[in-house]
Amino acid sequence: MRYISTRGEAPALGFEDVLLTGLASDGGLYVPESLPHFSLEEIRSWRGLSYSELAFNVMHPFVDDAIPADDFRKMLDDTYSVFSHQSVAPLVQLDANEWVMELFRGPTLAFKDFALQLLGRLLDYVLEKRKQHVVIMGATSGDTGSAAIEGCRRCEHVDIFILHPHERVSEVQRRQMTTVKGDNIHNIAVRGNFDDCQRMVKESFGNQGFLAGKTQLAAVNSINWARIMAQIVYYFQASLALGGPDRSMAFSVPTGNFGDIFAGYLAKKMGLPISQLVIATNRNDILHRFMSGNKYEQHQLEHTLSPSMDIMVSSNFERLLFDLHGRDGQAVKTLLENASKGPVSIEDYRWKHARKLFDSDAVDDKGTCETIREIYEQNEYLLDPHTAIGVRAARNCRRDSSVPMITLGTAHPAKFPDAIAESGLTVKPQLPAHMADLFERDENYTVLDNNIAGVQEFIAKHWKNA
């Protein structure tokens, strides 16, 4: 399997190189040159498989001969055995034909574990084979950092440095990062905000000289193809559990960078009957504005009760735009260059084509809290604020009540106690047993000034082979 850039100019790469690369050299994102396609008969034959067996069938064509089948199977068994539920991604029924798929049974209680638990293992496997070492550098305002650290804690060939804004992430989120033990794990609290952290990471990727040419930086943010690939699997799992592929499904996906929902779009293209995908956003609604009015325009960032969806632009949306433009990299390049200067639209027939599958909704904090309270009162079931936005959007956008509607449950409610309290509920969400002592564990992090030279000096001094 070969991978090409959405901007049409960077060289095509194989799976291993795509794994180790962030952005393509032309500024685009890598996508598979062609997708595998499964017949209904083949998908039907997967009924009753374990999550990890299903994951093998769905992902193997993407990995191809980069990893021998037996090694890949073992890696998937290891990856999904760390989840706290036997089915890995259990479904919970909310109402007639309406479901939540709980994607928060992994070590850090958010869906990002599905991809990052696998990514850490894939990286270590490929680096062992190549006798190479990488330094991962990333910035986080919450979930990505902890999931990446958990995913890489056992990697022999990876040092990970995660920057978070000092005193500006929630205590649960900080402790999930800073209590993980491992001499390859480095938490840096920057005396600045999230944008400062992100800028330092971006500049460091642009100029890696501070590592003295001894190793390279690798990215674990959602532009990494392997993360998208791992997220395709649970769409198949949900469908097979509810009568697919012999009936269509609808999914509602709490969306920030468009990674999770793009995986659903790929599942459909690979043969899974999906009749509707609902893009659920908070007040950072650039995608909702595009889907409802064909206008793509950046607004100011708003801080909301669903911080993991607080974005101004959605990086993975570029991958959909590439398909909508008949895979013409030059057209995508021009469009996105124009988008950085002001509002843009796409040709009406292309937009209408997208609207056949996608609907969208934007839900503010008030609507989020109302939904958390409503679902608790109806079902004694607690939603986290991100999932609540998904459920609200699912109900607002539903096209056909005979089609099962599945909202992706992206985080455990105990990660966001403030939103639950703001909903007026007195019930307190409990951390699961394996994390019950989170507030007693020792923390380990270094506070540094908002200064890139100091941060780079720290990294150069602390990675293993330095």
Point out the residues that are catalytic: 112
Q: Specify the residue, 67 or 406, whose C-beta has the smaller distance to ligand PLP.
A: 406
110 binds ligand PLP (CB under 6 A): yes
- As measured in angstroms, the least distance from the Cβ of 90 to ligand PLP is 17
Q: Which of 106, 254, 329, 367 binds ligand PLP (CB under 6 A)?
A: 254
- As measured in angstroms, the least distance from the Cβ of 230 to ligand PLP is 12
Q: Which of 66, 76, 155, 411 binds ligand PLP (CB under 6 A)?
A: 411
Q: Which of 222, 239, 281, 282 binds ligand PLP (CB under 6 A)?
A: 222
**Are the CB atoms for 66 and 14 separated by under 8 Å?**
yes
Question: Which are the contacts of 288, defined by CB distance < 8 A and separation ≥ 6?
Answer: 279, 281, 360, 361, 362
Binding mask 257-296 vs ligand PLP (x if CB under 6 A, - otherwise)? xxxx------------------------------------
177 binds ligand PLP (CB under 6 A): no
- As measured in angstroms, the least distance from the Cβ of 164 to ligand PLP is 14
Phi, psi of 405 (to 5 degrees): -110, 120
Q: Specify the residue, 16 or 260, whose C-beta has the smaller distance to ligand PLP.
A: 260
CA distances (Å), origin 364, targets 130, 293, 311 = 48, 19, 14
Helix (H) or strand (E) holding 31, with range, is strand 30-32
Q: Which of 309, 375, 405, 419 binds ligand PLP (CB under 6 A)?
A: 309
Pick the stretch among 47-55, 154-162, 205-213, 251-259 that binds ligand PLP (CB under 6 A).
251-259
371 binds ligand PLP (CB under 6 A): no
Pick the stretch among 6-14, 189-197, 248-256, 332-340 that binds ligand PLP (CB under 6 A).
248-256
Size of interface with ligand PLP, in residues (CB under 6 A): 16
Q: Specify the residue, 215 or 371, whose C-beta has the smaller distance to ligand PLP.
A: 371
C-alpha atoms less than 13 angstroms from C-alpha of 286 in its C-beta half-sphere: 24
- As measured in angstroms, the least distance from the Cβ of 450 to ligand PLP is 25
Q: Specify the residue, 32 or 254, whose C-beta has the smaller distance to ligand PLP.
A: 254
108 binds ligand PLP (CB under 6 A): no
Looking at residue 397, its amino acid is: C
Phi, psi of 312 (to 5 degrees): -100, -40
| Strand blocks (E) in 318-449 | 358-362, 405-409, 446-449
Burial class (CB within 10 angstroms; exposed 0-12, middle 13-18, buried 19+) of 382:
buried
**Are the CB atoms for 302 and 281 separated by under 8 Å?**
no
Q: Specify the residue, 263 or 455, whose C-beta has the smaller distance to ligand PLP.
A: 263
The distance of Cα 85 from the centroid of its chain, to the nearest Å, equals: 20
255 binds ligand PLP (CB under 6 A): yes
256 binds ligand PLP (CB under 6 A): yes
173 binds ligand PLP (CB under 6 A): no
- As measured in angstroms, the least distance from the Cβ of 109 to ligand PLP is 9
- Cα–Cα dist 423/367, whole Å: 10
CB atoms within 10 A of CB 292: 15
- Cα–Cα dist 295/107, whole Å: 38
Order of strands, sheet of 216-218, starting from the edge strand that comes earlier in the sequence: 216-218, 134-139, 158-165, 185-191, 446-449
Residues that bind ligand PLP (CB under 6 A): 110, 112, 143, 222, 254-260, 308-309, 386, 410-411
